Chain A
Amino acid sequence: MTRRLLSAAALAAIAALSSPTAAQEEVYLQVTSPGLKRVVIAVPDPPARIGVDPRGAGDFLSALRADLQSTAVVGLLEEERAKLVEVDPASPVLTRQRWRAVGAQFLLETGLTGAGAQLVADTRVWDLASGEVAYSRRLQGPATLAATMAHTLANEVVRLFTGRPGPFLSRIAFISDRSGAKEVWVMRWDGSEAQQITSHRSIALSPTWSSGGQWLAFTSFLRGAPQLFLLRPTEGYLKPISALPGVNSSPAFSPDGRLVAFASGPDGNTDIFVVARDGGTPTRLTAGRSIETQPAWSPSGRQIAFTSTASGNPQIWLMDAEGSNLRRLTFQAQFADEAAWSPDGVRVAFTTLIERKFQIGILDLRSGEQSVVAGPGNNESPCWSPDGTMLAFVSDRSGTKQIFLTDPVGVPRQITAAGNNAQPSWVTQLQ
C-alpha cells in the first residue's frame, strides 16, 4: 500500500487540539506542533472482587483498553513492559514508581465492585510524574452496559489530555448501497454495529447530523423529484422540510441546530437556501447564474462555506450566515468542493483534484497554508471527528467506495466493507 500520507503541516493541522473554550480546564497535551506524542498510560487489571459480574468486568476492561489504544492521543503501555511491574500491595507509592520506571506516564487504576447485575467502577488516573491524582470518578450502571461505561470513561480520559471528549460513543451516518439501494445507515465510529435507517428503496443522499445528535437531514428521491427530509433516528420520525424546485441537496445544520442550509433552485440554477428545522418557507442566501451548493456552517455559526462556480470552475467560497460578504476561499487549479470545518473553526477540509485524482485538501485559515491528504485512488467527502483529531473520508482505493478514518499518526483504516459506502457525517453521540 502506498503511504504518501500526511505532510508535516497536515499532521500539525489535524493534531492541533488546543481549544480556547477548554482553557480553564487542565489540559495535559497541547499538541500544536508536528512532534505529536502519545501519552503512555498503564491500565492494570483491577483486583478481583467477589460478587462482581465477571463478564461485565471483562467487557469493561477490554472495551476500555481497546478505546485507549485507538486514538492518536493516548497509547497503552506495552504489555511486555507492564508485565515487568511487580505490584507491592503494601506500598502503592512504590508500585506507582515501578509503573513510571517502565515508561508509563499515567496510571489508570480501576476498582470494580457491585453485586449481581450492577457494576460500579471507581477510577483514578495518576499523573506519575507529579505523583498526583489527575482524575477520579465513580461510574455505575447495569453490568450489561459495561462497554458503555468503558466508552464513557475513555471519553473522559481523552478529555483529560485534550480538553475534548474522545470519540468512543460517537456515530457516523452514511449512505450505503449494501441492501441494493442507496439508504441511510448509522454505525459506531469504528465501523461496528452498522444499522440501516431508511428502507425506501429509492436514492438517499448526504445524511448530516445536527450537532447534538438528535436529527439527521438527508436528500431522498422517494417521492420522485429529490426532496429534503428530516429524520429523528431514535424515533423513526420522518418529515419533508423542502420540496422546492431543484435538487434539494447537501443539507447542513447550523451549530445551534435550528436552521438547515441546503442547495436548490428552479430552472437549473442551484443556490444556497436556509430553512428552519421546524419547517417554514426557505430563504434564499445566494443569487446568480452560477452553481452554488454544499453549504457548511462554521462552528461559530457566523459564516457558511460553500461551493460556487462563479469563478468558472467549482471553488470554495465563504459568506456571512445572512448571505452577505461573499469571498473566495480556495484557488485550486480545477476543482474544490465539500468544505468541512474543523470543530475548532481553524481549518477547512475539502475535496480537490490533483493529478487527475480526487484528494482531500486541508486549508489552515490562520496561516493560509494548505496541505493534502493524498493516498491511493480517489479520496473525497472529508468529515472531521467531533473532537477534531481524526478525519473520515471516502476512498475507492480498494475498488469500491469505502469509508476510511485517518488520524495524525496517519495510517488510514477502512471501517466499512459491504457494498459501496459514502458521504460520512460524524456526531459525538446519539440523542
Chain B
Amino acid sequence: MQRSNEYGHDEKVQGGCGLFGIINVKRKLVPGSVIIDAISVLHDRGNGLGGGFAAYGIYPEYKDYYAFHVMYENKEAIAPTEAYLAQFFNVTYHEQIPTRVTKAIQAHPLFYRYFVQPKEEAKALLPNKDENDFVVGKVMYINENITDAFVVSSGKNMGAFKGVGYPEEIAEFFKLEGYKACSWTAHNRFPTNTKGWWGGAHPFTLLDWAIVHNGEISSYGINKRFLEMYGYKLTMLTDTEVITYLFDLLVRRFGFDFRTAALVLASPFWKNIDAMPGEERKVLTALRMLYGSALLNGPFAVILSHNRGFVGLSDRIKLRPMVAAQVGDYYYLSSEESAIRKINPSLDRVWFPKAGEPVIIDFEQE
C-alpha cells in the first residue's frame, strides 16, 4: 500500500481530509471567494496532494447542455476525445478552462470544457433511450479507453475543478474567485490509499453528482464488483469513486429517495433492525438482503451534491466528523465548526448529525 507520507513534503503529516459545503436554498449566488475562505480554515486536514471544488448554477447561459469538464494529461489526448464527442454529441460551445500560472502549481494537465447535447440518432441506438444512461456510457468510455483523457465532470449547469495542491491553490489556479454558484462543495485531500494525482482529487462526479469524501471505504472490492454488474467502470484508482456510482445507481436508476439510499449505504445494525416494529423491520431486512453489497464499510463522511440540493452522510459508527449549520436560507456542512464560523460567525443553528443519518438539504421549488 502506498502511504501518503512518501508523497508529502511536510516534516510531519497530520490530519484527515477536510470537507465543506454551502448551499442557498433560494438559489442566491455565492461567490467563489466564500468557499475558498471556508476551506482554507481546514488547511491542516490535508497535505497538499489534492484539492477540489464542485459548483452548481455556474453556467446559466448553457443550462440545458451537459457541461463536460475534461482533463488531458497531454495534448495528444485532445484530438481523439474531441472526435469521439463529435461522433455522439452536438457541441454548441467549447473552450479551454481559464487557468493561471501560480507559484504553487507549475506543472499541470490541460483542462477544456464542452457544452453538449446528445445527437438524437446516436441516442436512439440505446435500448432504453435514456439520455442520462447515454451520457454515463460515453463518460465511462472516455475514462476507460482514451489514453490520458478524463472527464472531470459531466452534469448540466455545474462543474468540478480539482487537482494536486491545497484547495486554496487549486482555486487560485482555476480562478474560482470569478465564479458564482448557488451551491459549492470543497475538499482538502490527505490521500491514504492511493497516490495523489489530478484525477484522483475530489470531487468525484458523474452527471450532476459530485462527492467529496473524508475516510476510506474498506468494502471497495465488493462495492466495485456490485457496480460492475450494472455496467459501471471504475477507473479512478480510488475508493471514493464507488460512492458516486452507488448514489447514481440507487437514486437515479433505482429511484430511491436519499433516506432510503442512506439506509442501504450506512445501514442500521442487525441488532437494531431486529428490534424494529413489523413493517419497518421487513423493509430494512429486505434492503440489507438485496443490497448488502452496496453497504459502505469503513470510516467516511461525505457530501453528495447535485442539481436539486446536497446530502451529508457519515458512516454508521461516526468515525469521521461532520457538523451542520444554518443561517436563514444558507446551510453548511463541514468537517469542523470553525470553517463555518469563518464565513458566518453568528449561526442560527449548529448541530452534529448522527451516524448514518443523512442531512438532506434541497433547493426550494422555483
Q: Check if A and B associate.
A: no
Binding site for A on B (CB under 8 A): none
Show the binding face of A for B, using Cβ within 8 Å. none
